[in-house]
Structure 1
Amino acid sequence: MRAASPNPVARWSFEEMSPTIANDTISGHDDEIVGFSKRVPGASGQALRFDGYTTGIKRLAANAPRLGDAVTFESWIALQAYPWALCGIVNQADEQEVKISAHEGMIPAKDGDPAMEPDPRAGYFFGIDGDGRVHLQLSLGGHWVKCRSDATIPLMKWTQIAGTYDPKAGRMAVYINGKCVGSMPANGHIDFAREVELLIGRNHQAKTHEHPIRLSPPALFGIEGYLDEVIILDGALGADEIKRDYDSIQPPRDSGMQLAKLPDVAPAPAGFGAYYTRLKFTETWDASRRDGPDSDVVVLFDDRPWKYMLWRGTNYIPHWVTEKGIWYTNEFNETWGSGALGCAEPMSDKQSRYSRVSIVESSPARVVIHWRYALADTRYVSARVDPLTGWGDWSDEYHIIYPDGIGVRKICLWSTQPREPHEFQESIVLVPPGSRPEDVLETDAVTIMNMQGQAHLYSWAEHAPDKIAQPEHANIEIINVRSIARPFLIVSDEPFELYGEKHDGPLFRPMNVEINRENSIFPWWNHWPVAQIPSDGRVATHADRMAHSSLTTGLEWKDWDNSVNSRTRVMLHGLTELPPARLVGVARSWLHAPALRGLPAGISSRGYDMSERAYLLEKATAGDAEVIGFTLDASAEHPLYHPAFIIKNWGDQPARVSVNGRERPVGPGLRTGIRRTIDGIDLIVWLDLESTAPVQLVVSPR
């Protein structure tokens, strides 16, 4: 055994400015930087920023440092987030390929060891795991030996870490800020992996993530944060020498890192409407995308600080955003198995390969957004593929948003098996880094109501609700987020049949699984949004990443329409500052809209269309606009609440509207828009009007 000689054989201080080269100041070797790179203020001088996925420094195996049996690894590190799993800082180990045990179905991670992750056979590994613990691992005498700290390093703060192996002392040890935080007996010669390239800040092979819920494919990832003064020594430093190295550098107290924030936009000068834009997130995440300046869609309101966001970071899953910046969504179509591994859903479409969004209409009167997506797993494999056509499950959703912050969500599922289990709704909130679900949600998180105004408050204080059974015949849900505006949804309260079983009204179910109350009283996952690992289920154990929580799931209600290969449902949803009881009137105005009568000759009515939240009228012939008068028979049982009207073939002439003989000025109380389609030119009218008595309306050319 060669005597330990603690001489540095490689050192990366990152003082050079090249975006593609990191210089080893000991050997003078210029090593290649792969992926994203940026110099940032370091623990001493400059550091290199790593994006958590692509960034790494590599050196060919032939040029890697030649070490004896005693070794030391040191580095200064500031983590933006803990790695998805064990991740190398200095890594020359022959990591083995991870093979998953199945390729279809919902396979819980706790059932045995679904992903066999073999140890390397040779080499060394110095790194951090998914909980921030320091690891030194070596191949000694044909055995892979692991030493790990119990302590964890903090986030967003410069920290010194080190690992040593001293064969004379028969000891491996790891250090944090100059203190030994883990050690173990160890002996033998190091079996070096001399045919493997040296990597800094990244793994050689894809690994399965830590804290999984289900079996997921492995992913290639790296350190997300800053590295500085990465050193390899040929020899084992003692504890005093590690402490000396720690004391020799006085890093800034502020690493310069900031918690990632969800995107936001300023109010649009043009007021209410839908806008294409490119929402900004973090520098590293934005740099990884391959999309242009009009990649996202935002709906803005001119008289309330709310938004409706369809962003790449959520795979375009639409979200209501409150005045406090709390994001909420009613989810999407989802299915399981049937050719897919785990969940087949747009949440799994990490690169938005299938998920697409477009603006169909945008006028002062309303906005219509079309969102199309595939039900595919994290490998982009579709569920329920038709052997005849090759088509898997797809969905088209239309989101019709009005100026009052209320919209219709029309969900059309296309499938060879549309009546097999598919999910249409789940109540989800986003949880930003630095927050837990409790920071976004009230403990009494859900209010459930029926059309009689009876309500029941469901709390997660002691435990998650076992079921949602009260009140009877409920069809209204309010999510009690920590803001003035609160998300709500309304569905049909009519009886329906599901999988051969009859139900007398909607079925609400609490999300009461996958909860670790040591971390949160609510479910808490961070595999979505923005995460790029191929996972559809990872429990959040730290508030380090963008995450989400769920309150109710699998809501079932009556179909709006269906065919042999499709199934359509509609819901009313939005944000509200109204007292819960007032939503009953909103629900009645949508589910039991007042009858329309008294139209003049040449004008026909298709009645009230819940999927448009509008009355549909049509002129018999296109051409000049004409006076159209009619009565809406509003009552307490059939109230009028912010009605909308679509008049087909109106033409492009501006309109005036009178209510009970008084003309309404165009403005907040009256919004009109012109819709041009391949079939003609239509008028859209929206009124800020409430009534429980009959109302006479006249629409005429201006």
Structure 2
Amino acid sequence: MRILMKSGILSFFLTVLIQLTSVAQDAVPISSWDFSEIKNRTVIEAESGIADTLEGNFATAPGIKGQGLRLDGFTTRIVRKEKYIQEPGSKLTIEAWVALGEYPLNWCPVVTTESNEVKGYRLLIGPHGQVSFETAISEKWMSTTSAHVTIPLRKWMHITGVYTAQKDIKLYVNGELVSSRKIEGSITFPKKTNCILGMVPEPLRPSNTIRTWGTIPAYYGLDGIIDEIKIFDTALTADHIKGNFIKYEIVDPDIEVRRLPVVENKPNRFGAFYTKLNYYPGWDLLWPVDQDPDIVVCFENNPVKFIFWRGIRYGPCWVSENENWMADQSLETWGNGKNDIEGCFEHMQDRHCRFSHVRIIENTEARAVVHWRYAPVSAHDHTWKPDPKTGWECWVDEYYYIYPDGSAIRKVSWNKGSAGHPVQLQESLPLTQPGQRSEEVVKDNYVTVADYDYYTCPVSVDENKKPTNWKGDNTIQQFNFKAKNKPYICFEPGNRMSVRWINGGYNHFPVNQARSDGRWAKTVDRPSHFMSSPCSDPVIHKKGNRLFWFGLYGMNDMNMHELISFGRSWAYAPEISVKGGDYVSNGYDKSEKCYRLESKYTKTQKLELCLAGSQQNPICNPAFIIRNWNADKAAVMLNGKPLKEAKTSIVHELEADKLVVFLFLEKKESVNITIHPK
């Protein structure tokens, strides 16, 4: 009996499936694109055999049936000339198979015949994964729209819009009716307007922008794979649409989960390396660059990376062992007077890196130095306040003095008077990967701030848990990453620090090519930055015509007590004394985290020195720069014994050679150090 019942149920469903499939085969489209024939940058439309123009970067990919078309979201579109468009009558159906890699920047058509006179029809996908079918009737867009996240990423989705004049418009997703709307009237069809597939017909602003005056309209398209796009001059029934959906065997599309660049073959030694970091092919192809446009700094026996990448506009990022990224703001200013219309001026707006460049200045086993030079720019691609006589504007030089222990000094300098007011100098920017939320990167107490007197204060993402013991002169911050290694910054005494939690974050930066100085991240489809906090006003120094500030940055597994002690070794470095008369000490240079010495004679002699370490002035991984070092090598002794962990390198400069020495050494007492020429 059970066998007969099961057999009957199976027979029933097979009958329904056959009926639906046969219904689906009845209607014949007036236009269809299956992408089986792509020739000389054209797509052959199957019903007419007409070759439609295929623009931009593209690739073929496995479709829902045979071959599909991969669109990059930036440049790819198909254009059918107006003279080849078949105008339907009182009924219309559009159906398409779509698989997305990320959502479009705003509403973007799969198919559109729209004109700026509000004429035509369009089947759209929205910035939050919505779908909408819209028809132009009596100079108004009549739309029927789905809910958010109707279209998940990296899944084949079947979307269909159906129009019946004087009656209704309907929207189906995967064979199911998701939205409908009654209408009165008929579509007004445009003249001399092309049919566009996969891209907006004209430049538009992205959605969810913070400041319209800091955002520029631009072209954008669908990022993903499309296949089996069909237009019918009839209103397909629900059964017909269901049949068109179920007749295909659905497999996952060939769209990989995206991640910010991963250094696959990290060398187990300290050094700065030129390389080319890739994100995903559609984004990578935008860049007209050859080999070695980016820089990665690696550390021995330490999984942390320090990365200068085009996708961050070369702003350096600390990357933990589990690929959590930490960035920082550049010098930023914003408009006043006539410049109010342009929003923020900062490195984040330089999405093509026209004004942002990096180079390796020094690269030895004891120290690496990377130079980042940029001009703050707006979304309008304008630089900040160019001089009317000379054309020179604000330019910023940042030098990173990087040491083998995973620490670095960031030194930021610019010409007096070029930055103007207002100005922001520092803003901590943790990043999220595509698909990642901020709570996956940081703990609820997302940052701990401190000062050099061992005061500490955790700061929560919960705005109702504001610190009751907040001090504005904090000098240390450590982000509580969900990782073994955590990013930190130590500022000079006199720093002023503030915090704010911005929930959700922004995704106009990084990697995004939209010309906007602020876009709220309403979905997690693309990389974003969140928090924008803490912010600091560091101590500003003056030298000649230059202003500059500096801070100690890095990423390690220290707890806060250890980090404060490490910061003190820089902010309150032990005094140095030199024995004998062969060398002159120029003291401790906080702007490079090193002691500076100079030989008085041409012939290099041994250097004997003492560091007066103590609880208040701890010794932690000191570095020494010794000019006029005329020997090929050097050996280091600590309290009369060889120090095998010492890193030494000769740097040849135009004026004179110098010896760079770095010591893995932690002491809270005085030590004697001898450096011998070899």
Indicate whether the TM-score tops 0.5.
Answer: yes
Pairing partner for 2:36 from 11, 15, 19: 15
State the distance in 2 between where 1:560 and 1:266 align: 40
Could you tell me which amino acid in structure 2 is paired with residue 412 of structure 1? S
Query: Residue 559 of structure 1: CA displacement?
Result: 1.2
> 3-state SS of the aligned residue for 2:278?
coil
Residue 115 of structure 1 corresponds to which residue in structure 2? none
Query: Residue 251 of structure 1: CA displacement?
Result: 1.9
Calculate the TM-score normalised by the size of structure 2. 0.92
Contact 1:491–1:570 (CA under 8 A) maintained in structure 2: yes
State the distance in 2 between where 1:469 and 1:597 align: 40
> 3-state SS of the aligned residue for 2:311?
helix
Contact 2:96–2:227 (CA under 8 A) maintained in structure 1: yes
Residue 99 of structure 2 corresponds to which residue in structure 1? 78
State the distance in 2 between where 1:542 and 1:590 align: 41
Larger deviation, residues 381-390 vs 393-402: 381-390
Contact 1:82–1:129 (CA under 8 A) maintained in structure 2: yes
State the distance in 1 between where 2:378 and 2:671 align: 51
State the distance in 2 between where 1:142 and 1:420 align: 47
Q: 1:586 to 1:391 in 2, by over 3 A?
A: same
> 3-state SS of the aligned residue for 2:382?
coil
State the distance in 2 between where 1:563 and 1:188 align: 74
Residue 244 of structure 1 corresponds to which residue in structure 2? 243
State the distance in 1 between where 2:97 and 2:551 align: 52
Is residue 2:570 matched to residue 1:590? yes
Residue 493 of structure 2 corresponds to which residue in structure 1? 493
Could you tell me which amino acid in structure 1 is paired with residue 628 of structure 2? N
State the distance in 2 between where 1:415 and 1:438 align: 41
Contact 2:472–2:498 (CA under 8 A) maintained in structure 1: no
Residue 46 of structure 2 corresponds to which residue in structure 1? 25
Pairing partner for 1:606 from 586, 606, 617: 586
Could you tell me which amino acid in structure 2 is paired with residue 594 of structure 1? P
Residue 390 of structure 2 corresponds to which residue in structure 1? 389
Contact 1:652–1:682 (CA under 8 A) maintained in structure 2: no
State the distance in 2 between where 1:371 and 1:603 align: 33
- Deviation by residue 1:350-407 (Cα, 9 ceiling, x = unmatched): 1111100000001000110000011101221112333333222221000111000011
Show the 5 A alignment for 1:265-276.
Answer: 265-269=263-267, 271-276=269-274
Residue 399 of structure 1 corresponds to which residue in structure 2? 400
State the distance in 2 between where 1:614 and 1:211 align: 46
Q: 1:246 to 1:654 in 2, by over 3 A?
A: same
Query: Residue 275 of structure 1: CA displacement?
Result: 0.4
Could you tell me which amino acid in structure 1 is paired with residue 486 of structure 2? R
Residue 343 of structure 2 corresponds to which residue in structure 1? 342
Query: Residue 6 of structure 1: CA displacement?
Result: 5.8
Show the 5 A alignment for 1:233-632.
Answer: 233-252=232-251, 254-269=252-267, 271-338=269-336, 339=339, 341-414=342-415, 416-418=417-419, 420-460=421-461, 462-463=462-463, 470-471=470-471, 473-494=473-494, 506-513=495-502, 515=503, 523-561=504-542, 566-621=546-601, 623-632=602-611
- Deviation by residue 1:177-226 (Cα, 9 ceiling, x = unmatched): 11111111113232212211111101111111111112111121000111
Is residue 2:120 matched to residue 1:123? yes
Contact 1:467–1:509 (CA under 8 A) maintained in structure 2: no
Could you tell me which amino acid in structure 2 is paired with residue 591 of structure 1? A
Contact 1:445–1:551 (CA under 8 A) maintained in structure 2: no
> 3-state SS of the aligned residue for 1:22?
strand
State the distance in 2 between where 1:411 and 1:547 align: 25
Contact 1:19–1:37 (CA under 8 A) maintained in structure 2: no
Identity of aligned residues (%): 32
> 3-state SS of the aligned residue for 1:533?
coil
Contact 1:23–1:30 (CA under 8 A) maintained in structure 2: yes
State the distance in 2 between where 1:583 and 1:207 align: 48
Calculate the TM-score normalised by the size of structure 1. 0.89
Could you tell me which amino acid in structure 1 is paired with residue 257 of structure 2? L
Contact 2:458–2:467 (CA under 8 A) maintained in structure 1: no
Residue 672 of structure 2 corresponds to which residue in structure 1? 696
Show the 5 A alignment for 1:200-215.
Answer: 200-215=197-212
State the distance in 1 between where 2:403 and 2:202 align: 49
Residue 149 of structure 1 corresponds to which residue in structure 2? 146
> 3-state SS of the aligned residue for 2:568?
helix
Could you tell me which amino acid in structure 2 is paired with residue 350 of structure 1? R
State the distance in 2 between where 1:588 and 1:554 align: 21
State the distance in 1 between where 2:534 and 2:221 align: 33
Contact 1:70–1:167 (CA under 8 A) maintained in structure 2: yes
Contact 1:468–1:508 (CA under 8 A) maintained in structure 2: no
Contact 1:332–1:345 (CA under 8 A) maintained in structure 2: yes
Query: Residue 473 of structure 1: CA displacement?
Result: 3.9
Q: 1:661 to 1:594 in 2, by over 3 A?
A: same
> 3-state SS of the aligned residue for 2:585?
strand
Contact 2:93–2:161 (CA under 8 A) maintained in structure 1: yes
Could you tell me which amino acid in structure 2 is paired with residue 507 of structure 1? R
> 3-state SS of the aligned residue for 1:320?
strand
Contact 2:386–2:393 (CA under 8 A) maintained in structure 1: yes
Quick check: which one's helix share is greater?
2
> 3-state SS of the aligned residue for 1:305?
strand
State the distance in 1 between where 2:435 and 2:141 align: 36
Which consecutive unaligned segments of at least 5 residues does structure 1 have? 96-119, 495-505, 516-522
> 3-state SS of the aligned residue for 2:282?
helix
Q: 1:269 to 1:443 in 2, by over 3 A?
A: closer
Residue 40 of structure 1 corresponds to which residue in structure 2? 61
Residue 646 of structure 1 corresponds to which residue in structure 2? 625
> 3-state SS of the aligned residue for 2:285?
helix
Could you tell me which amino acid in structure 2 is paired with residue 443 of structure 1? D
Larger deviation, residues 288-297 vs 9-18: 9-18
State the distance in 2 between where 1:130 and 1:415 align: 43
Residue 57 of structure 1 corresponds to which residue in structure 2? 78
Q: 1:305 to 1:468 in 2, by over 3 A?
A: farther
- Deviation by residue 1:599-652 (Cα, 9 ceiling, x = unmatched): 43242121100011001111234x442211111112222111100000111035
Which consecutive unaligned segments of at least 5 residues does structure 2 have? 1-25
State the distance in 2 between where 1:208 and 1:245 align: 35
Contact 2:104–2:126 (CA under 8 A) maintained in structure 1: yes
Larger deviation, residues 52-61 vs 183-192: 183-192
> 3-state SS of the aligned residue for 2:355?
coil
Contact 1:605–1:618 (CA under 8 A) maintained in structure 2: yes
Q: 1:604 to 1:201 in 2, by over 3 A?
A: same
Q: 1:473 to 1:131 in 2, by over 3 A?
A: closer
Query: Residue 329 of structure 1: CA displacement?
Result: 1.8
State the distance in 1 between where 2:260 and 2:468 align: 31
State the distance in 2 between where 1:16 and 1:418 align: 55
Pairing partner for 1:179 from 166, 176, 180: 176
Query: Residue 551 of structure 1: CA displacement?
Result: 4.9
Q: 1:197 to 1:467 in 2, by over 3 A?
A: farther
Query: Residue 18 of structure 1: CA displacement?
Result: 4.1
Contact 1:219–1:534 (CA under 8 A) maintained in structure 2: yes
Query: Residue 598 of structure 1: CA displacement?
Result: 2.7
State the distance in 1 between where 2:302 and 2:567 align: 21
Pairing partner for 2:89 from 63, 68, 76: 68
State the distance in 2 between where 1:142 and 1:7 align: 30
RMSD: 1.9
Query: Residue 465 of structure 1: CA displacement?
Result: 6.1
Residue 518 of structure 1 corresponds to which residue in structure 2? none
Residue 650 of structure 2 corresponds to which residue in structure 1? 674
Larger deviation, residues 482-491 vs 336-345: 336-345
Query: Residue 563 of structure 1: CA displacement?
Result: 5.5
* Alignment: residue pair count: 647
Q: 1:597 to 1:411 in 2, by over 3 A?
A: same
> 3-state SS of the aligned residue for 1:246?
helix
- Deviation by residue 1:523-564 (Cα, 9 ceiling, x = unmatched): 421111111110121111222111121251431121133555
> 3-state SS of the aligned residue for 2:243?
helix
